């Protein structure tokens, strides 16, 4: 064997060793990613739709990879109305004590358009750690299809808003509507300025009225003012109270007087008393008038009779004697 063949054999041997080393490293690398050389436990979760999840996809817990999907199979309980698919996960034993029986599993994605993954979330410290073969509850996550549908709806809404904004700006430019009239109509702009001026005038008047009200309240709060005395001076309050009581007594007396006057007027208006008869009975008035006339006539006749008696010779001495006595008494 010559030197050239020896070199070729050495190179071939080195190449084979390097290839074997790369192959072993690849095997260990892939095995490590698939947890082939680590002790694991089996956990299960049931879904209606795995949304593209595949065997070998990763399982994450608290932001770190703790296992992978080992099997996806149909669930026997789906015949009774349960979830259709059951996913079997291999979880590292080192993470077992941190995952609780009340934890939940949801479908997620590795990035916006990355591979589907499973994420274990939640779990309370009061619950015990999971055991091999446990079935964890699931929750519905936001899928990529849902996000794309939401984005599509948002895009449609954005297009609609853009069209509406375009129509609005066109209307404004053409002077349509109130806003367009404000932009295009000079008369309306002048009216708007006049309105603003009026509002400013009203504001100025309000400020002046507020100042006057402040002065008025200051006067009310002055210790020399009547209002302050009414509010703070107990003597003035007592006097006002006494005056009010006296006024109440006066009103009561006036009420009694009014009642008495009412009763007296009622009596006057009736015919069962002398004054009522004089005021209301016309027949009695006529009779009284006739009586007074008769009395007057009788008095005149009596005077005439007395005059005649004085001139009668039988009574002349009597009347003369009486006249002398009256004259003497007057002296």
The domain ranges of the chain are 32-144, 179-232
Residue 51 CA to residue 146 CA, distance in Å, equals 11
In this prediction, residue 280 has a pLDDT band, given cuts at 50, 70 and 90, of: low
Q: What is the mean pLDDT of the chain?
A: 77
Are 136 and 130 contacting, i.e. CB atoms less than 8 angstroms apart?
yes
Q: Do residues 50 and 85 make contact, with C-beta atoms less than 8 angstroms apart?
A: yes
Q: Which of 111-115, 229-233, 293-297, 311-315 has the highest mean pLDDT?
A: 293-297
- Rounded to two decimals, the pTM is 0.39
Q: Give the phi and the psi of residue 107 in degrees, each rounded to 5.
A: -80, 135
* pLDDT per residue as tens digits for the range 209-263: 888 877 777 766 666 665 565 556 666 667 777 877 888 888 888 888 888 777 7
Q: Are 123 and 99 in contact (CB under 8 A)?
A: yes
- In the prediction, which pLDDT does 72 show? 92
Q: Which residue has the higher pLDDT, 138 or 323?
A: 138
A 10 A CB-CB count for 135 gives 13
pLDDT given for residue 219 in this prediction = 67
Q: What is the mean pLDDT of residues 98-118?
A: 86
CB-based contact 120:103 (threshold 8 Å): yes
Q: Are 69 and 86 in contact (CB under 8 A)?
A: no
The whole-number pLDDT of residue 233 equals: 62
pLDDT in the model for residue 221: 63
Q: How many residues does the chain have?
A: 331
**pLDDT level of residue 113 (50, 70, 90 thresholds):** low
């Amino acid at each position: 064997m010559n030197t050239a063949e020896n070199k070729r054999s050495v190179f071939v041997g080195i190449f084979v060793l390097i290839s074997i080393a790369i192959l072993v490293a690849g095997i260990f690398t892939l095995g490590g990613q698939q947890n082939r050389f680590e002790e694991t436990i089996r956990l299960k979760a049931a879904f209606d739709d795995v949304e593209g999840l595949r065997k070998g996809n990763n399982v994450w817990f608290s932001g770190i990879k703790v296992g992978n999907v080992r099997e996806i199979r149909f669930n026997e309980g789906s015949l009774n109305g349960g979830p259709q698919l059951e996913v079997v996960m291999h979880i590292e034993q080192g993470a077992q004590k941190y995952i609780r029986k009340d934890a939940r599993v949801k479908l997620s994605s590795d990035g916006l358009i990355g591979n589907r993954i499973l994420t274990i979330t939640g779990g309370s410290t009061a619950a015990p750690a999971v055991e091999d073969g446990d079935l964890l509850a699931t929750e519905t996550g936001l899928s990529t299809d849902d996000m794309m549908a939401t984005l599509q709806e948002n895009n449609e809404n954005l297009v609609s808003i853009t069209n509406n904004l375009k129509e609005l700006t066109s209307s404004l430019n053409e002077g349509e509507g109130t806003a367009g009239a404000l932009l295009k109509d000079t008369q309306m702009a002048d009216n708007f300025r006049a309105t603003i001026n009026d509002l400013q005038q009203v504001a100025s008047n309000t400020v002046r009225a507020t100042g006057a009200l402040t002065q008025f309240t200051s006067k009310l709060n002055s210790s020399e003012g009547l209002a302050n005395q009414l509010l703070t001076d107990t003597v003035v309050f007592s006097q006002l109270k006494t005056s009010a009581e006296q006024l109440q007594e006066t009103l009561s007396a006036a009420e009694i007087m009014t009642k008495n006057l009412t009763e007296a007027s009622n009596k006057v208006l009736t015919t069962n008393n002398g004054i009522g008869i004089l005021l209301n009975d016309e027949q009695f008035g006529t009779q009284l008038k006739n009586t007074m006339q008769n009395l007057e006539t009788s008095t005149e006749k009596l005077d005439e009779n007395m005059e005649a008696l004085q001139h009668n010779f039988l009574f002349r001495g009597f009347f003369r004697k009486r006249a002398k006595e009256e004259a003497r008494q007057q002296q």
